[in-house]
């Protein structure tokens, strides 16, 4: 029988274990099926976070008692539903989406799930909305799952606009398996995105941080309160 233990990566790949844990943990937020259906109906890319990453995201947000969160990259609202489930009925999410079709699909999903009063979708390039978002700072957390070349800018903005004890979380931290450079014989089609993602890791590494070994990596950094007499 093939050994399903990867000694190099330390990752157990048996799909039976993943299916078993999915059955045990359950606890899906309402509306997730509608978010997935919206991807099909509107012919959107199937690049939403996994349910496992959604649970980690919800856990992290609840651990810091998050109530006000910014998200960069809405798609059909799948990750937003996990965030809202963590925030409770008094929580509020501002989510940035540059594609009007994605934004319309997400708005339908939020209405169907009954959470549209807790979410504001900011249409347009997220960087164009930095000023508007800054007016509501500080936030409890920022979730980044947008264009990969923009990750360093999103991370810097987040770290400047989070409260002490706040958290910034970035999806796809392994860059879909392209974080390491290819061999010299292979064409390098991801050089720009790779450098941006590596810069995100360097930014995070200057904080209390970790890259959680989910299937495509979930990078997390904490904003710590400055020591007495120390400026932040």
122 in a domain, yes or no? yes
Note the Cα 223 to chain centre separation in Å.
17
The answer, yes or no, to whether residue 231 has pLDDT greater than 70, is no
35 in a domain, yes or no? no
179 in a domain, yes or no? yes
Residue 118 in tokens: 């807790």
The answer, yes or no, to whether residue 230 has pLDDT greater than 70, is no
167 in a domain, yes or no? yes
pLDDT: is 63 or 52 the higher one? 63
Helix 32-41 × helix 100-113 angle, to 10°:
150
> How does pLDDT run across 4-60, given as a tens digit for each residue?
434 444 455 677 887 888 889 877 887 777 777 777 777 666 777 788 899 999 999
The answer, yes or no, to whether residue 170 has pLDDT greater than 80, is yes
**How many angstroms separate the Cα of 221 from the Cα of each of 17, 89, 155, 203, 206?**
29, 26, 9, 9, 9
CATH number of the domain that residue 138 is part of? 3.40.50.150
d(CA 73, CA 148): 10
d(CA 9, CA 156): 30
d(CA 63, CA 45): 31
171 in a domain, yes or no? yes
Mean of pLDDT over the chain:
87
> How does pLDDT run across 192-218, given as a tens digit for each residue?
999 999 999 999 999 999 999 988 899
231 in a domain, yes or no? no
Phi, psi angles (nearest 5°) of residue 21: -70, -35
24 in a domain, yes or no? no
**How many angstroms separate the Cα of 14 from the Cα of each of 2, 11, 211?**
11, 9, 22
5 in a domain, yes or no? no
Please tell me the predicted confidence (pLDDT) of residue 145: 94
Please tell me the predicted confidence (pLDDT) of residue 57: 96
Residue 151 pLDDT grade (very low, low, confident, very high; cuts 50, 70, 90): very high
**What is the pTM assigned to this prediction?**
0.87
Give the chain's domain count: 1
First to last CA, the chain: 55
**How many angstroms separate the Cα of 190 from the Cα of each of 49, 52, 73, 148, 203?**
21, 26, 20, 10, 20
Q: Print the domain residue range for 86.
A: 49-222
Question: With pLDDT > 90 as the criterion, what percentage of the chain qualifies?
Answer: 62
């Amino acid at each position: 029988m093939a050994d399903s233990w990867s000694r190099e990566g330390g990752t157990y790949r048996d799909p039976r274990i993943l299916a078993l844990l999915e059955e045990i943990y359950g606890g899906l937020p309402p509306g997730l099926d509608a978010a997935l259906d919206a991807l099909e109906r509107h012919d959107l890319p199937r690049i939403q976070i996994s349910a496992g990453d959604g649970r980690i995201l919800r856990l992290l947000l609840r651990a810091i008692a998050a109530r006000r969160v910014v998200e960069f990259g809405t798609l059909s609202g799948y990750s937003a539903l996990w965030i809202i489930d963590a925030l409770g009925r008094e929580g509020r999410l501002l989510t940035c989406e540059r594609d009007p079709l994605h934004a319309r699909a997400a708005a339908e999903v939020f209405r169907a799930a009954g959470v549209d009063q807790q979410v504001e979708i900011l249409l347009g390039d997220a960087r164009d909305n930095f000023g508007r978002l800054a007016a509501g700072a500080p936030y409890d957390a920022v979730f980044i799952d947008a264009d990969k070349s923009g990750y360093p800018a999103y991370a810097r903005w987040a770290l400047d606009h989070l409260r002490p004890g706040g958290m910034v979380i970035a999806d796809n931290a392994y860059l879909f398996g392209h974080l390491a450079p290819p061999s010299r014989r292979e064409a390098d089609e991801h050089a720009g995105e790779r450098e941006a993602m590596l810069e995100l890791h360097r930014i995070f590494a200057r904080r209390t941080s970790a890259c959680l070994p989910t299937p495509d990596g979930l990078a997390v950094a904490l904003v710590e309160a400055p020591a007495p007499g120390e400026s932040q």
